[in-house]
Chain A
């Protein structure tokens, strides 16, 4: 069974840094893209970008380019999303999800709530 387990909720102050994680199991983690999706309170889903853990090839949505950094460590089946200087507007639920290169996400993590 494909599972994506994300790190727990975070409460941070503006200007602080943050790195959240997403650990995959039940499939060849290195062989599938991991996408990140933001959902602000009461709002719809926004695709932030994706990373291919096999070679760390990364594609960012223009809206999030330069705002966040995606990384992955295939040796421990884990992908990461990080910020160097959080803003209040970064407060949201963040989901990781397995996806094909030209397809929407399929399997989703449980989400990580970030409060700034």
Chain B
């Protein structure tokens, strides 16, 4: 059982907007900034968003993150076929003194 809760799957068609949620508690999302990763099959996790909304160079602007209270979300606008992947949320947990991850959301681009 992951510390952060994500829906196991979602889907969308090219061009659509998709939002992936992540919920936690006051000791993690409620106290710290969010990180999001993309993992394609057979690949390592890749940093998409850090500190709630910062994108590393090379990550398209159609990926955005937000946080409110003990929940966070990743939004992908203008969905593309290459976005077909699993997305993980993560943050630091002050009680566990460790980073914690969501269980991952498998995004299928139809």
Using CB atoms and an 8 Å cutoff, list the residues of chain A in contact with chain B. 35, 37, 44-47, 59, 61, 95, 97, 99, 102-111
List the one stretch of B9-17, B43-51, B76-84 in contact with chain A.
B43-51
Complex Cα spacing A97 to B92, Å: 15
B contact residues vs A (CB 8 Å cutoff)? 2, 32-33, 35, 44-47, 50, 56, 88, 90-92, 97-104
Of the candidates A61, A103, A104, A111, the one having the most CB atoms from chain B within 10 angstroms of its own CB is: A104
Say whether A109 contacts B44, CB under 8 Å. yes
The residue of chain A having its C-beta at the shortest distance from the C-beta of B103 within the complex is A44
With a CB–CB cut-off of 8 A, which chain A residues contact B101?
44-47, 104
Known A-B contacts A44-B104, A45-B88; A108 and B99 likewise in contact (beta carbons under 8 Å):
no
Instruction: Give Cα distance in the complex from A102 to B33, angstroms.
Output: 10
Do A104 and B44 have beta carbons less than 8 Å apart? Answer: no
Check A110 against B45 for contact (C-beta < 8 Å): no
Q: Contact: A105 with B46, CB < 8 Å?
A: no
**5 closest residue pairs by CB, A with B:** A104-B90, A104-B99, A104-B35, A45-B101, A108-B44
Instruction: List 24 interface pairs A-B (beta carbons < 8 Å), by A numbering.
Output: A44-B2, A44-B101, A44-B104, A46-B101, A47-B100, A47-B101, A59-B97, A95-B45, A102-B32, A103-B32, A103-B35, A104-B90, A104-B91, A104-B99, A104-B101, A105-B99, A106-B35, A106-B50, A106-B56, A108-B44, A108-B45, A108-B47, A109-B44, A111-B44
Query: Chain B: which residue is nearest A35 at the CB level?
Result: B99
Knowing that A47-B98, A47-B99 touch, tell me 4 more A-B residue pairs with CB under 8 angstroms. Answer: A45-B90, A103-B92, A104-B35, A104-B99
> Which residue in chain B gives the minimum CB-CB distance to A111?
B44
Is B44 in contact with A44, judged by CB distance below 8 angstroms?
no
Q: Tell me whether B47 and A107 are in contact (CB under 8 A).
A: yes
Q: Roughly how many angstroms separate A103 CA and B33 CA in the complex, as a whole number?
A: 8
Bound-complex Cα distance A104 to B90 (A): 6
Residues of B within 8 A of A37 (CB): 45
